[in-house]
Chains A and B, each alone.
Chain A
Amino acid sequence: MSTRSSWPLYEVFVRAKRGLNHVHVGSLHAPDAELALRNARDLYTRRNEGVSIWVVPAEAITASSPDEKDPFFSPSGDKVYRHPTFYEIPEDVPHL
């Protein structure tokens, strides 16, 4: 098939049964978003992994660059005081 290389790439996010957020699990090729969702169901949830799927065109994702790693992330490494550790968290408030 000469058109094989033209199928766009989609990134797949799955929310597990016990999970709270959709988690990135991988990527796949599909001719359009509807089939990307179905392909994702077949590729990433066939072992009972999830209850919800998002697919996003890979080209729609703007990612931070490895070159920017230090200016982006290093400044937060020594500022433990940004953690609100002085709050007492009630027992019955999960996932805070």
Chain B
Amino acid sequence: MNLGDGENAYDALTAAGSDASHWAFGTGFSPALSGVDRSVPSDVDRDDLFAYCLMLGDDALILSQRLMGWCSRAPELEEDVALANIALDLLGQARLLLARAGDVEGAGRTEDDLAYLRHEHEFRNVRLVELDCGPGPGGDFAATIARLLVFSTWRLALLSRLVHSRDPVLSAIAAKGTKELAYHRDHAAQWTLRLGDGTAYSRERMRAGLARVWPLTEELCTPHAIESRLASIGVAVDPASLRSEVDDVLGTVLTEAGLDRPDVPMLATVGGAAGRHGVHTEAMGYLLAEMQHLARSMPGATW
């Protein structure tokens, strides 16, 4: 938008050292995590903390990638922007967590290296986030909302406890994330209410969407050995401790929406291993192929 001589909004916003006080809108940004102590508590195993940062970072990264798929494909323009905003919030969390993982590992890997150059079995996200709910073939907005409701309810419960982590960086990331997750949960709940309590058709779609994501919920509250170890020294959150809050919140939303809790069998582990161990569903390979293709075919590309 060019407003005439010397009135270019973007020039003025980016001008170094300019006094922003004349801007009524869009100022006062502050960098995430400025001033946070980046040291690792001395009694914390660095391999464990590295893996834990990957777990939380990969959850956010992979769901962000899934939600981004809806950009320009959502039922309404307004919902396009809403889902993209949520995806960008999650991408921001993923960047901070993967950057922290790289720091803790100490091998010089950046957030980009970890996002784009790891293999499928090195990703530690829960399998819920990799499920393909569209917008491509078989795409389903109701299932996307159902997953967002479950995920954001669970992650909000997790981050609101992680605020008390002894790792100062995890604590700061959690404090930033809780405000974002509260909005994501609200957005998903608003849509769940409208679809569940809408027409017979919308209720059926929402019911089917919930039934599709529900088998992947058991994994959310099942602790991996690394999570248990770090939780015992006050660094991580034991996911088993989240179960009652997640059940309560989901129960409240579903009741209000006139929907039953799905009665479906849970997705089995593979010999006790699941997403947190790097064991994923078929959808994960396709997702990574799309997400990593550019970075792998043109190493170091910038634009």
Contacting residues, chain B, for A1 (C-beta < 8 A): 75
Who on chain A is nearest to B30 by CB?
Answer: A48
CB contact between A42 and one of B25, B26, B81, B194 (< 8 Å): that residue? B81
Contacting residues, chain A, for B190 (C-beta < 8 A): 34-35, 38
Q: Is the CB of A30 within 8 A of B78?
A: yes
Q: Is the CB of B186 within 8 A of A19?
A: no
Shortest A13–chain B CB gap in Å is: 13
Q: Is the CB of A49 within 8 A of B85?
A: no
Q: Is the CB of A39 within 8 A of B78?
A: yes
Docked pose: A73 CA to B75 CA in angstroms: 43
Contacting residues, chain A, for B187 (C-beta < 8 A): 38
Interface residues on B, range: 20 to 34
CB contact between A18 and one of B24, B76, B79, B81 (< 8 Å): that residue? B24
Who on chain A is nearest to B24 by CB?
Answer: A16
In the complex, A43 has a CB within 8 A of chain B: yes
CB contact between B76 and one of A29, A38, A41 (< 8 Å): that residue? A29
In the complex, A69 has a CB within 8 A of chain B: no
Question: Which of B's residues lie within 8 Å of A, judged by CB?
Answer: 21, 24-29, 75-79, 81-82, 85, 183, 186-187, 190, 194
Question: Which of A's residues lie within 8 Å of B, judged by CB?
Answer: 1, 4, 7, 14, 16-19, 23, 28-32, 34-35, 38-39, 41-43, 46-50
**Can you list 20 pairs linking A and B with CB atoms under 8 Å apart?**
A7-B76, A14-B25, A16-B24, A16-B25, A17-B27, A29-B76, A34-B190, A39-B79, A39-B81, A42-B78, A42-B85, A43-B78, A43-B81, A46-B81, A46-B85, A47-B25, A47-B26, A48-B25, A48-B26, A48-B29
